[in-house]
Amino acid sequence: MACWLSAIVMAGIALAVAPHAAAAPDSTSGQSNSTATGARDTKLAARAGARGAPNLAPRTKPRSAMAPDRSATTTRTRVSAAVTPAAEAEIDIRSQPVQATAPDAPRAAAQSTPPRKRAPSLADLIGSVVLNVVVGAIHLADGPPVLPPGSTVTVRTSGLQVPVGNGRTVQADWYFPEDADESTRLVYLQHGFLASGPMYSYTAARLAERTNSIVVAPSLSSNFLDPGAAWVGGAPMQRAVADLFVGDREALVRSASAAAGGTVALPQKFVLVGHSAGGTLVTAAAGYLADNGGITDLAGIVLLDGVEPSGSRAVEEALAKLTGPNDRPVYLISSQRYFWSRGGDMADKLGAARGDRFNGVSLEGGWHSDYLYGGNPLIQRAQYLITGVSAKRNVAAAQDISAGWVNDLFAGTRSDGIYGAAGERMSIVTPDGTATAVVLPLGPARRTPLQRVVDGFFTVIFDWAGRNVFVYEPLHV
């Protein structure tokens, strides 16, 4: 219920500032829908305890974290189109035509022009204050990060100085694997809109454990009316995250060391992982890394049902930079086409920009909440209420797939993750049942009448607000 109220509050704020924003030029040309269907369906180191800092001394025993024992977790096999969907609301695309690319996207991209800036109105400023209160209340409600039962990682929280504006200190949750050495990796995990790092504590802990990675999960603002655009969807914040990985990475090292209780030497190579709007942030950050030279140490990007708000051009611009010597893999796990995935918009954009390669998979019956997994039961239930109740098999499969891709990105191989040809179906056997993954592109949307009504309501509001109200670049003050 809290999430529904938050969504309604967001819609109310967007509508409240709409008359003022409407007077400004419409930036529809910056909308990021990729196909007609998309438009219709839019929408560290060692265990750190009180005893001191992590120890990065070389290991003297074989490492198993690099190749976890799948027999105790999940197994996967390729299957034919005869796989029978589970009884839950899953998408059956066996009889649907598969398109390898989204042909309308290049044309839209070619016609796009940068949206002009507008001056902040009184409604913007008041709405910004209200949004800060709402987001603050959400962060207060989610509590500290909680580890899953039996986890071998240690989580500690500290402040992280983000170089946006005059500098902003945010909460950062650091997950340190139990047995870390010089082979330990670094993963940056970014939450989505109206979320926070602790909401992903189970996701982060299992990623750290299964990939032998230090995982940092910062909590950023979701204030889309911030005049400085210092929020998860704003270009200044996306650029600031990229700047964290340049040079000696002083801000990250200081934050990790404060969390660990002693000096930490962070791994050089890193992978960016993002859920929902966090997927857009890490993709955009990769583009800025191509600009500032930090991309040398970027192994790749994993998107967990990434979503780009209407009116943003961050993904389009970033993918244009990730070519040639700056080319990096971008893998997406997508939910079905519905409002919370913006109608599968991210899958369509990847298909349009990178139609000649493997871009990821979708989970049949997948929901936007499959990747947002934490230890606060009230927050978890609220997320399920608004985005759909995740099937346990899909939650487990998402963890398996993302961990496999991260391991492969660091190793520069394709031995741990799942890959295939367009439309290929694969079964992911987990302790919670067998999930089915289908190689992108996405098939058509299959929704109930009620889903269409709900999707339509939020799509009309948020897509228009995304093009006319959301602040992606600093406003003229």
Long-range contacts, stretch 243-248, CB < 8 angstroms, 24+ apart: 243/163, 243/288, 243/292, 243/294, 244/160, 244/162, 244/163, 245/188, 245/270, 245/289, 245/294, 245/297, 245/298, 246/292, 246/293, 246/294
**Overall average pLDDT of the 204-225 stretch:** 98
pLDDT at residue 215 greater than cutoff 90: yes
State CA 337 to chain mean position distance: 16
Residues 166-184 have a mean pLDDT of 94
Give the count of beta carbons closer than 10 Å to the beta carbon of residue 57: 11
Summarize pLDDT for 100-116 with one digit per residue, the tens: 444 343 334 434 445 55
How does residue 477 score in pLDDT terms, banded at 50, 70 and 90?
Answer: low
Whether omega before 441 lies within 30 degrees of 0, making that bond cis, reads: yes
Distance from C-alpha of 222 to C-alpha of 241, rounded to nearest angstrom: 15
β-pairing verdict for 185-190 and 270-275? parallel
Beta strands 154-162 and 185-190, pairing class? unpaired
Residue 312 has pLDDT above 90, yes or no: yes
CA–CA gap between residue 446 and residue 343 (Å, rounded): 11
Torsion of CA 229, 231, 235, 240, to 10 degrees: 110
Asked, for residue 477, whether it belongs to a domain, the answer is: no
Rounded Cα distance between 465 and 11, Å, is 8
Site of tokens 């009504």: 453
pLDDT-derived band at 45, boundaries 50, 70, 90: very low
Classify 472 as helix, strand or coil.
coil
Q: What's the rounded mean pLDDT across residues 433-449? A: 93
Percent of the chain exceeding pLDDT 90 equals 64
Q: What pLDDT is stored for residue 476 in this prediction? A: 65
Residue 296 above 50 pLDDT? Answer: yes
% of the chain residues with pLDDT over 70? 75
Q: Is 166 helix (H, G, I), strand (E, B) or coil?
A: coil
> Does the residue 476 lie in any domain?
no
Q: Is residue 473 part of a domain?
A: no
Of 441, 471, 230, residue with least CA distance to 347 = 441
- In the block, tokens 């990769």 appear at 286
Helix or strand or coil: residue 449?
A: helix
Say what the pLDDT of residue 436 is. Answer: 98
Q: Which residues contact 140 (CB under 8 A, 6 or more apart)?
A: none
Does the residue 354 lie in any domain?
Answer: yes
Kind of pairing between the strands at 154-162 and 425-430: unpaired
Asked whether the predicted pLDDT for residue 417 surpasses 80, the reply is: yes
Across the beta sheet with 185-190, the strand order is: 75-78, 425-430, 433-439, 360-363, 330-334, 298-304, 270-275, 185-190, 213-218, 168-176, 154-162
Nearest residue to 193 (alpha-carbon basis) of 11, 396, 440: 11
pLDDT greater at residue 186 or residue 76: 186
Would you say residue 37 has pLDDT above 50? no
The DSSP bridge pattern shows strands 330-334 and 425-430 to be unpaired
Question: Could you tell me which residues are beta bridge partners of residue 215?
Answer: 175, 187
CA 401/CA 380 separation, integer angstroms: 21
Q: Rounded to whole angstroms, how far apart are CA atoms 357 and 361?
A: 12
Average pLDDT, the chain: 82
Q: Note the pLDDT of residue 23.
A: 43
Please name the residue that has the structure tokens 């031995």: 415
pLDDT given at position 102? 41
Indicate the pTM of the whole model. 0.80
Torsion of CA 383, 387, 390, 394, to 10 degrees: -120
- pLDDT category, 13, cuts 50, 70, 90? low
- Which of 7-11, 58-62, 367-371 comes out lowest in average pLDDT? 58-62
Dihedral angle at the C-alpha atoms of 212, 164, 376, 300, nearest 10 degrees?
-30
CB atoms within 10 A of CB 118: 18
Q: Look at residue 290 in the predicted model and tell me its pLDDT.
A: 99
pLDDT of amino acid 447: 82
Q: What is the model's pLDDT at position 454? A: 84
Q: In whole angstroms, what is the distance from residue 173 CA to residue 11 CA?
A: 30
The residue segments making up the domain with residue 284 are 2-468
Q: How far, in Å, are 74, 335, 337, 428 from residue 435 at the CA level?
A: 10, 13, 17, 5
Q: Is 60 exceeded by the pLDDT of residue 91?
A: no
Alpha helices in 187-326 (DSSP H): 201-211, 235-243, 250-260, 277-292, 314-321
pLDDT above 90 for 474: yes
Domain count, the chain: 1
3-state secondary structure of 437: strand
CATH at residue 299: 3.40.50.1820
**Of 446 and 47, which is predicted with more confidence?**
446
State the pLDDT at residue 223.
95
Give me the pLDDT at residue 12, please.
Answer: 61
For 168-183, the DSSP string reads: EEEEEEEEE-SS--TT
Judge whether residue 231 has pLDDT over 80. yes
Alpha-carbon dihedral 399, 336, 287, 472, rounded to 10 degrees: -120
**What's the rounded Cα separation, in Å, for the pair 465 and 224?**
10
Which phi and psi (to 5°) does residue 407 adopt? -60, -45
